[in-house]
């Protein structure tokens, strides 16, 4: 069916291409018919595909949800069945723990020597008791009994003999002990816990004395993993589904492939999911997972089925959708071609007629007879072409009349332009003469104005000079007074310096007297020191009677030394004062001639100030004479400036009048030239219009 539909679609596409080729479109996409064809084709195909895809998506989602519910229910029921099996194993371990005879035998084991006959007999009896249990319950593969410290007591069943004699350090043994009296579920091992050749898992618990509650032994039941495999292999969630049992660490406990035991499970259950009793979810790789957590063993029963296998039946809806979409595409092609022929061909024909009319053929007509919109469009086209023909004929007559009028206007405008050009030349000459006169008068006006400004500056400068001369005269008089005071103060200073020199000489003599006194004191200290030394010698001769005198002599000697040191200090100070006095005398001796020269300079400056005062009086009198002359000159300048201003105003009025006349002449000349150009242009336009109208066929 699909092959037949494909051939039909190909044939329809060929026909559509031929149909489009007949209408001779430059760009088919711009055609109204092609747009309608594409609109019908895309709309029909779009809605068919949308409906089909929505149906496929909804059915896929419904199937997924229903299968998820069914899978979760199946996994939950299987998990509950496994819980029943787990409970039978725990009950078996509980029966062994509560066996009174076993309890009694286990009480004897710690009290006997392991090499004694009694110990061997007790172990034989324990073995017989445990063999009875293993024979009665075929699910139990091996039974282990250990001392609380991990040493093996007895092992029965099909277990190997390579088990370590002490398992106290094993992880599984520690797990059993840590669980106290509760059952500990031990994961499956590939070779079992007793090194057997088959896969086994185990449960273990502590054997306690029912009276004292003390631990007597550790019991471990080793069970074949096939028990669990039988349960999960009997489950089927659908095609390609997998069921495994995993522990809390997502390690495989029971799986169909033996090689996958003790490895990480393909499906990882998160901690949040393990907190729930059961649930389902979809993985990133699109697998539906249903799980059930056992409340007894803590293991997870996990079912995994690919979503693709669940929704494979929904593929039929998808395939039917594609098939219907193919038929819808064929129908859309047929409808589109019909619309293209019904609407596109008349429009293309009308377009071609319009193109011929645009090239100048005004005789074309559509002659459509239909009463629809396209027929009305054709009739309107025919009326338009008839109106254009009439308009072209009338325009041709008008163009000929315009051409004749343009010839007459050209001749008249040329004569007017010649006369305007001669008038413009004459007015330009008059304007140039008036312009020169105005320029010269303006220049004279500027010169007189400039002279007036300079006269004002001279007057201001004269006033400033008079003021400055008066200030100089006043300053010189005041300077003369200051110089007189300076001479008197300088004389007083000279007298004070002379007095200071005399006093410094007296001070110098006084320091020399002090030096002599210090020499006398220094001699006295030396004599005192000699006397104290003699007194010390005499006291030493006197022996014990002279000890007191010796002390006094020492004190006198110390006082003499201190006096000598003080005299030395005073002598140094006196030397310093003597040096400074000598330097002061030198400075004053140097300053005295300078003060004398200063007095002479002040007297000369006083004479100069007096001369300046006399000269400035004569200068002020001459400035008064100059000021009178400048006032007379300023009045003459005002009269001259008024006269030049009047001349300049008359010249400017004459220039403005001549320029206005020249401007009017130039404007008239421009208008005349423009009129000539317009007449020439009108002539050209009339010729061009005639040539253009000649192209139309009427």
Q: What is the pLDDT of residues 202-222, one digit of tens each?
A: 999 998 887 788 888 899 988
- Which residue has tokens 């679609």? 9
At 480-519, the pLDDT tens digits run: 777 777 777 777 777 777 777 777 777 777 777 777 787 7
* Integer angstrom CA distances of residue 458 from 453, 462, 623: 9, 6, 12
> How long is the chain?
698
Report how far Cα 585 is from the mean position of its chain's Cα atoms: 85
Give the chain's domains with CATH numbers. Answer: 63-310 (3.30.450.20), 387-693 (1.10.287.950)
- The vertex-216 CA angle with 215 and 218, nearest 5°, equals 85
At 3-33, the pLDDT tens digits run: 443 444 445 444 444 444 444 444 555 666 6
Q: Would you call 653 helix, strand, or coil by DSSP?
A: helix
What is this structure's pTM? 0.42
Q: How high is the pLDDT of residue 204?
A: 92
At 525-582, the pLDDT tens digits run: 778 778 777 877 877 777 777 777 677 777 787 777 877 787 788 778 877 887 877 7
- Within 8 A by CB and 6+ apart from 580, the residues are none
Q: How high is the pLDDT of residue 12?
A: 43
Check if the beta carbon of residue 121 is closer than 8 Å to that of residue 105: no
Mean pLDDT of 256-265: 81
Q: How high is the pLDDT of residue 31?
A: 65
Q: Would you call 471 helix, strand, or coil by DSSP?
A: helix
Q: Could you give the CA distance from residue 426 to residue 661 in angstroms, rounded to a whole number?
A: 10
Which residues are bridge partners to 222 per DSSP?
142, 202
Q: Could you give the percent of the chain with pLDDT greater than 70?
A: 79
Q: Would you call 219 helix, strand, or coil by DSSP?
A: strand
Q: How high is the pLDDT of residue 430?
A: 67
Q: Could you give the CA distance from residue 676 to residue 682 in angstroms, rounded to a whole number?
A: 10
Q: What per-residue string of b and e applies to 375-409 under the rule 16 or more CB within 10 Å gives b?
A: eeebbebeeebeeebeebeeebeebeebbeebeeb
Mean pLDDT of 290-295: 88
For residues 395 and 245, the model is more confident at 245
Of the listed ranges 79-88, 193-202, 306-315, the one predicted with least confidence: 306-315
Mean pLDDT of 170-176: 88
Using pLDDT thresholds of 50, 70 and 90, give the confidence band for residue 669.
low
Q: Could you give the CA distance from residue 207 to residue 143 in angstroms, rounded to a whole number?
A: 13
């Amino acid at each position: 069916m699909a092959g037949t539909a494909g051939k039909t679609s190909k044939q329809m596409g060929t026909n559509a291409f031929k149909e489009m080729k007949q209408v001779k479109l430059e760009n088919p996409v711009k055609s109204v018919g092609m747009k309608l064809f594409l609109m019908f084709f895309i709309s029909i195909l779009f809605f068919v595909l949308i409906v089909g895809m929505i149906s496929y998506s909804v059915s896929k989602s419904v199937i997924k949800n229903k299968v998820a519910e069914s899978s979760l229910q199946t996994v939950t029921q299987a998990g509950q069945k496994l819980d029943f099996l787990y409970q039978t194993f725990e009950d078996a371990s509980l029966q062994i723990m509560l066996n009174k005879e076993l309890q009694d035998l286990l009480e004897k084991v710690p009290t006997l020597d392991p090499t004694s006959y009694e110990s061997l007999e007790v172990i034989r009896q324990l073995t017989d008791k445990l063999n009875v249990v293993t024979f009665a319950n075929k699910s139990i593969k091996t039974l282990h009994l250990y001392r609380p410290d991990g040493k093996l007591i007895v092992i029965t069943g099909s277990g190997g003999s390579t088990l370590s004699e002490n398992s106290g350090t094993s992880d599984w043994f520690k797990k059993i002990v840590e669980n106290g009296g509760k059952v500990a579920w031990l994961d499956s091992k590939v070779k079992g816990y007793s090194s057997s050749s088959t896969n086994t898992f185990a449960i273990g618990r502590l054997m306690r004395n029912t009276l004292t509650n003390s631990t007597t032994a550790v019991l471990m039941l080793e069970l074949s993993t096939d028990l669990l495999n039988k349960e999960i292999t009997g489950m089927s969630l659908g095609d390609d589904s997998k069921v495994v049992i995993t522990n809390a660490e997502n390690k495989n406990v029971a799986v169909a492939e033996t090689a996958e035991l003790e490895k990480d499970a393909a499906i990882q259950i998160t901690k949040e999911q393990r907190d729930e009793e059961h649930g389902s979810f979809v993985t990133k790789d699109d697998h539906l997972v249903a799980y059930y957590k056992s409340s007894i063993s803590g293991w997870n029963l996990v079912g995994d089925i690919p979503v693709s296998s669940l929704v494979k039946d929904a593929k039929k809806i998808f395939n039917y959708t594609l098939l219907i979409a193919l038929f819808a595409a064929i129908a859309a092609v047929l409808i589109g071609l019909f619309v293209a022929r019904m609407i596109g061909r008349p429009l293309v024909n009308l377009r071609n007629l319009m193109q011929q009319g645009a090239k100048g053929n005004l005789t074309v007509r559509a002659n459509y007879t239909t009463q629809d919109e396209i027929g009305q469009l054709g009739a309107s086209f025919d009326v338009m072409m008839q109106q254009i023909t009439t308009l072209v004929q009338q325009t041709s007559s008008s163009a000929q009349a315009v051409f004749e009028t343009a010839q007459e206007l050209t001749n008249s405008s040329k004569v007017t332009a010649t006369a305007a050009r001669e008038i413009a030349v004459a007015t330009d000459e008059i304007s140039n003469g008036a312009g020169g006169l105005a320029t010269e008068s303006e220049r004279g006006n500027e010169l007189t104005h400039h002279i007036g400004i300079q006269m004002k500056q001279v007057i201001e400068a004269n006033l400033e000079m008079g003021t400055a001369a008066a200030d100089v005269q006043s300053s010189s008089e005041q300077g003369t007074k200051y110089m007189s005071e300076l001479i008197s103060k300088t004389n007083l200073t000279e007298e004070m310096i002379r007095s200071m020199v005399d006093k410094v000489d007296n001070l110098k003599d006084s320091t020399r007297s002090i030096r002599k006194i210090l020499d006398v004191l220094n001699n006295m200290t030396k004599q005192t020191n000699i006397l104290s030394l003699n007194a010390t010698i005499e006291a030493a001769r006197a022996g014990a009677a002279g000890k007191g005198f010796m002390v006094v002599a020492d004190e006198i000697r110390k006082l003499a030394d201190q006096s000598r040191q003080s005299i030395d200090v005073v002598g140094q100070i006196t030397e310093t004062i003597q040096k400074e006095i000598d330097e002061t005398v030198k400075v004053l001796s140097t300053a005295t001639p300078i003060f004398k020269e200063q007095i002479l300079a002040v007297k000369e400056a006083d004479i100069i100030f007096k001369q300046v005062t006399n000269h400035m009086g004569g200068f002020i009198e001459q400035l008064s004479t100059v000021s009178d002359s400048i006032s007379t000159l300023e009045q003459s300048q005002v009269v001259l400036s008024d006269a030049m201003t009047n001349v300049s105003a008359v010249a400017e009025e004459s220039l403005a009048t001549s320029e206005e006349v020249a401007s009017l002449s130039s404007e008239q000349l421009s208008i005349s030239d423009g009129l000539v150009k317009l007449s020439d242009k009108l002539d050209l336009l009339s010729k061009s219009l005639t040539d253009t109208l000649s192209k139309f066929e009427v």
